[in-house]
Amino acid sequence: MSSEWVSLTDFDPQPTLAGALVRVRPLQAGDWEALFAVASDPLIWAIQPAHDRWHKPVFRRFFEDALGGGGALVVEDQSTGRAIGSSRYDLARVEPGEVEIGWTFLARSHRGGAANRDLKRLMIGHALAHFERCVFLVGPENWRSRRAMEKVGRRLLPRTHTTLGVRHVISAIGRDEFEAGPLGGAIPRS
């Protein structure tokens, strides 16, 4: 990485970020009820590899894993302050210079539109101030997420990763794609 970019030691995996439509903040144990209220909608998970996360014990494991991972975030509606989902930064399945953004779910009222773009813009912009590129693991049959990734300028990488017993395709967005792409973000520099 060039010296103009912030070093990895300066990366905050649980930042508080505010956009026009959403606010992102660190996940806390007290967020369980608000997030389960969103996650209990079976239609959120219908095309996900883990399509049973709307069940309380399954979501409990997902939530506890997120808490223990150190990079989990709550997504809130900026106008109401209400939790509408969550996302994570993760370094477990990446190559040097990369960070994964994933494990994201949003209430159906907020997914697939402006709120989702605002979330991606915030998270990708924050990450690219510290990493060369962001990667996204998507189930090969999850066409909704694959189309969403296409809309923000990702490129498909020639590698895959198997998690939860499912082979995932890997997409990436680097600094140039982000700055020139549809999210049109300037990467924060220090």
Q: Which residues of 171-188 are buried (b: 16+ CB within 10 A; e: fewer)?
A: bbbbbebbeebebebebe
Q: Which domains does the chain have, with CATH numbers?
A: 8-180 (3.40.630.30)
| Rg for the chain, CA atoms, rounded | 16
**pLDDT level of residue 190 (50, 70, 90 thresholds):** very low
Global pTM reads 0.86
* Nearest partner of 166 among 139, 127, 130, judged by Cα: 139
The confidence score (pLDDT) of residue 75 equals 98
Percent of the chain with pLDDT over 70: 87
pLDDT digits (tens, 9 = 90+) for 58-98: 999 999 999 998 899 999 999 999 999 999 999 988 999 99
